[in-house]
Amino acid sequence: MLKYAVIGHPVGHSRSPGMQNAAFSRCGIDAEYLKFEVAPEELPEFLRFAKKHLAGFNLTVPHKQIVLPHIDEIDPEAARIGSVNTVKVLPGGKLAGCSTDGVGFEEAVRYRLGMELSGRSCLLLGCGGAARAVAFRAIGSGAARLVIANRSVGRAEALAAELGGKTGVCALDNRDRLAAALRDADLLIQATSLGLHADDAPPIDPELLGINPRLAVIDLVYLPTKLLRKAAALHLNACDGKEMLLRQGAASFRFWTGVEPPVEAMRSGMEHDRADAPPSEWRRQA
């Protein structure tokens, strides 16, 4: 039986096992997907283990960036983002890595919001790992304009410089600049980490969403955030981060197996996942 896993620190909350095991089962592939708690200092030991015992794995916080020097063949998009979330163990033990966050984002926008990125004007909140994946994908897919709003403006300026033209930068607390960007935008992308906790303040004043009745909204957080609740009250076209999670998982499955992912089976597997199940002991899988 082939073995796959997601590694993280913490990893307990991950719903990837339910999603990927449903895909393997639906496609008749004899494989099992587990979750492993791996601390950053354990990564080199884990990679030696993975080369011998796994067919592939996903990575979540804090491994997506620190794994880069260990990857033998990096997909160009992942190299640009500076982040890998999917690794395939090649015959002979070499590691091939890619990032499926960007395609997951683009497919979530396509299938949940009914929108293509090409020609669109976007306002992106945040500048971390997820925002970088979104930004490179949006520009790569032909977005007409991308304004990046971040708490640390210097980070937004650095990202805009990497992306080249078609970009603008704004401080997250500059209400007038945000209002102008929202008025011009087709799509608002919330990619800060705010909203994961019920008492988080929203990254921008939700009342600003009322400026533009044509605005579509995607919040990468998996929960109904204050921003999304306001978008729903205004009847805006909006979705949370679950579709992106599903679509990035589907792209990982395709990368490992070459098989077209059974997306609806994966959705059902993700929704029914016992996210509270404890991680498996990876050293015992040897």
Q: Which residues are catalytic?
A: 64
Pairing mode, strands 121-125 and 145-150? parallel
| Contact track, ligand NDP, 77-116, x by CB under 6 A | ------------------------x--x------------
Within 126-255, strands assigned E span 145-150, 167-171, 187-190, 216-219, 237-239
Given a contact cutoff of 8 angstroms between Cβ atoms, the answer to whether 104 and 127 are in contact is no
Residue type at position 68: L
Minimum distance from residue 230 beta carbon to ligand NDP (Å): 17
Query: Residue from 47, 131, 149, 250 that binds ligand NDP (CB under 6 A)?
Result: 131
Query: Would you count residue 248 as binding ligand NDP (CB under 6 A)?
Result: yes
Q: At 123, list the tokens.
A: 């306002």
Of 70 and 155, nearer to ligand NDP (C-beta) is 155
Minimum distance from residue 244 beta carbon to ligand NDP (Å): 4
Q: Which residues pair with 189 in a beta bridge?
A: 124, 218
| Contact track, ligand NDP, 140-159, x by CB under 6 A | ----------xxx--x----
SS3 call for 14: coil
Query: Residue from 128, 140, 168, 206 that binds ligand NDP (CB under 6 A)?
Result: 128
Minimum distance from residue 61 beta carbon to ligand NDP (Å): 6
| Residues 6 or more apart in contact with residue 124 via CB below 8 angstroms | 131, 134, 135, 138, 146, 147, 148, 149, 189, 191
Summarize as ranges the residues that interact with ligand NDP (CB under 6 A): 101, 104, 126-131, 150-152, 155, 172, 191-194, 196, 203, 220-221, 241, 244-245, 248
